[in-house]
A and B are shown apart, each in its own frame.
Chain A
């Protein structure tokens, strides 16, 4: 098996030139760390650098990852964490998961039947890192996931790959503030009827920063739903990328899929590459996708200024408003407020 990093010649990596920014050193040989907050009742953890992995780890570890970068982290990562939420356990308070340090790291999260969890994933911004994260949602399990990636001058890559059984729900929000190269790739298989994913995200990028969200959602069976809403504000010479591919397998009738990606470009050097894509192999499905790139609405800007709101504040208000419907998808009010706050601070940087 080859462990070469993808180049831009591979279509999926066209907008994120990983081989170039990493150079000959690649991600190196180091192992990064995954830390988890105090474990609530009904949640168990296993440190992946230890020997004698339990059966539940062996049953799932390394089974779902698909992309080339994830193959590298599987081969090289020495550490990481595996988490399991026991059957019918409802964890109220958000559980924090932090990726820290330089190098490769792995995580595995298993929600057994009927379990529910809110996961707050935080990415330490300083170091170049390659994370591979596998998630298994059992029947009727529910995972709320909020991932916040602070502004960074490093290269940060993560692949999240997951499967959902019958009636499982995954609701995720990804807030990106840009890195030298930031790539989040989601590979999601809707394997059981009634399974649903609701993905949303905001990127606020300035200077030369980059953020790439690439999703592959496969409706393997019918009566499954996927929603995606990604909003980007791009200033300076920054670049936002959204590539979203939804595949509806033959006989996955009654699937419902919607994907929307929008970007506002704040200057002539800002770039957004939005590519929603649909492959429908079934007959009776409801699918919609769209992408739009634009600038702030001049009528709205004038209206606010005519009410006494200065230009900078008016632009800030309108940019925040543009991102609001994506942030409104975050279920927990505290997490939602904290993302809004981070977005507001980032918008101060892009509105001059």
Chain B
């Protein structure tokens, strides 16, 4: 599904990722853990195609294609979804209107017929209920006045609606209380499927109590320094990043 080889990425001329390699296959859930400044968010942005993140060396292949050649909207239509750490607030666009635009834009790009407002509303309502996203939230301007938990739930709702092949969740646990975390985790777990890969990007082990990964990778100074099964996350929690990074060196 995703194969990253020796990836170097610079932001504003500064090297952030320095030789990162990673392979994620369909049906797998991988966790990328790392301390602040290790390059976690840079990895998520470069996968989603944000401007200003320059690949200086190495490659990213997604389903056999060179990802760098695709615009962000093309990546979305190809099934890449990034749940953002800080979802933006857009006054003047209702959440429902935004969801309709996004769903139909992706369908158009894939050569599928667009859905009418009624069909979209039906699909959204069905999935919104399980994520505790209220009708009132859907009528409000996108993310405006939403609590941290509401914003993250809306990100997961989008993931459920778009049904991506590759979902990247950037610090989805940050700012969530335990009930919200459980709700979000249930939403993510329900999306686990043989044809889908997930990449959980997180600072803390806490999220991994709820979403158990197949593989854990430790990111430090722009490259993967340690890899293992789900037990690596617990080891990290016990020893701390410094110890693990030192052991790996």
Q: Do A and B come from one complex?
A: yes
Of the candidates A297, A308, A311, A322, the one whose C-beta lies within 8 Å of that of B106 is: A308
**Chain B positions within 8 Å of A308 at CB level:** 73, 76-77, 102, 105-106, 109, 162
Report how far A75 CA is from B92 CA in the complex, Å: 45
Given contacts A318-B90, A325-B92, is CB(A306)–CB(B101) below 8 Å? no
Give chain B nearest CB distance to A318 CB in angstroms. 7
A307 within 8 A of B: yes
Interface-located stretch among B44-52, B115-123, B128-136: B44-52
Interface positions of A from 320 to 352, Cβ below 8 Å from B: 320-325
Report how far A297 CA is from B75 CA in the complex, Å: 21
A299 within 8 A of B: yes
B71 within 8 A of A: yes
> Hey, what's the 0/1 contact readout for A286-309 against B, CB within 8 Å counting as 1?
000000000001111011111111
**Chain B positions within 8 Å of A307 at CB level:** 73, 76, 98, 102, 105-106, 158, 162
Give chain A nearest CB distance to B115 CB in angstroms. 13
From A231, which residue of chain B is reached at the shortest CB distance? B92
Q: Total number of A-B contacts with CB less than 8 angstroms? A: 78
B195 within 8 A of A: no
Task: Tell me whether B101 and A317 are in contact (CB under 8 A).
Answer: yes
Task: Tell me whether B51 and A298 are in contact (CB under 8 A).
Answer: yes
A250 within 8 A of B: no
6 more A-B residue pairs beyond the given contacts A303-B87, A307-B162, A310-B73, with a C-beta to C-beta distance below 8 A:
A303-B90, A305-B72, A306-B49, A306-B72, A309-B102, A321-B90
> Hey, what's the 0/1 contact readout for B185-221 against A, CB within 8 Å counting as 1?
0000000000000000000000000000000000000
**Chain B positions within 8 Å of A322 at CB level:** 92
**Chain A positions within 8 Å of B82 at CB level:** 306
**Chain A positions within 8 Å of B87 at CB level:** 303
Give chain B nearest CB distance to A333 CB in angstroms. 15
Give chain A nearest CB distance to B120 CB in angstroms. 14
Of the candidates B51, B93, B158, B162, the one whose C-beta lies within 8 Å of that of A302 is: B51
Report how far A317 CA is from B101 CA in the complex, Å: 9
Of the candidates A297, A302, A325, the one whose C-beta lies within 8 Å of that of B72 is: A302
Task: Tell me whether A324 and B73 are in contact (CB under 8 A).
Answer: no
Interface residues of B (CB under 8 A from A): 48-51, 71-73, 75-77, 82, 84, 87-88, 90-93, 98, 101-102, 105-106, 109, 158, 162
**Chain A positions within 8 Å of B71 at CB level:** 305, 310-311
From B82, which residue of chain A is reached at the shortest CB distance? A306
5 contacts between A and B (CB under 8 A): A305-B73, A306-B82, A317-B93, A317-B98, A324-B93
**Chain A positions within 8 Å of B76 at CB level:** 305-308
Instruction: Decide if the interface of chain A is mainly helix, strand, loop or mixed.
Output: helix
Report how far A294 CA is from B47 CA in the complex, Å: 29
**Chain A positions within 8 Å of B106 at CB level:** 307-308
Interface size on A, residues (CB 8 A): 24
Give chain B nearest CB distance to A290 CB in angstroms. 16
Which residue, of A298, A303, A321, A325, has the highest number of chain B Cβ atoms within 10 A?
A: A303
**Chain B positions within 8 Å of A317 at CB level:** 93, 98, 101
A313 within 8 A of B: yes
Report how far A78 CA is from B120 CA in the complex, Å: 57
Give chain B nearest CB distance to A122 CB in angstroms. 26
**Chain B positions within 8 Å of A321 at CB level:** 90-93
Give chain B nearest CB distance to A320 CB in angstroms. 7
Task: Tell me whether A310 and B92 are in contact (CB under 8 A).
Answer: no
For the complex of A and B, 10 pairs with smallest distance between CB atoms: A321-B92, A308-B76, A324-B92, A308-B106, A305-B72, A307-B102, A303-B88, A321-B93, A308-B105, A309-B105
Report how far A304 CA is from B76 CA in the complex, Å: 10
**Chain A positions within 8 Å of B101 at CB level:** 304, 309, 313, 317
Report how far A34 CA is from B88 CA in the complex, Å: 48
Given contacts A307-B102, A309-B101, is CB(A320)–CB(B92) below 8 Å? yes
Give chain B nearest CB distance to A186 CB in angstroms. 25
From B48, which residue of chain A is reached at the shortest CB distance? A306
Of the candidates A297, A303, A310, A324, the one whose C-beta lies within 8 Å of that of B105 is: A310
Given contacts A306-B76, A308-B76, A309-B73, is CB(A300)–CB(B102) below 8 Å? no
**Chain B positions within 8 Å of A300 at CB level:** 88, 90
Interface positions of A from 255 to 314, Cβ below 8 Å from B: 297-300, 302-311, 313-314
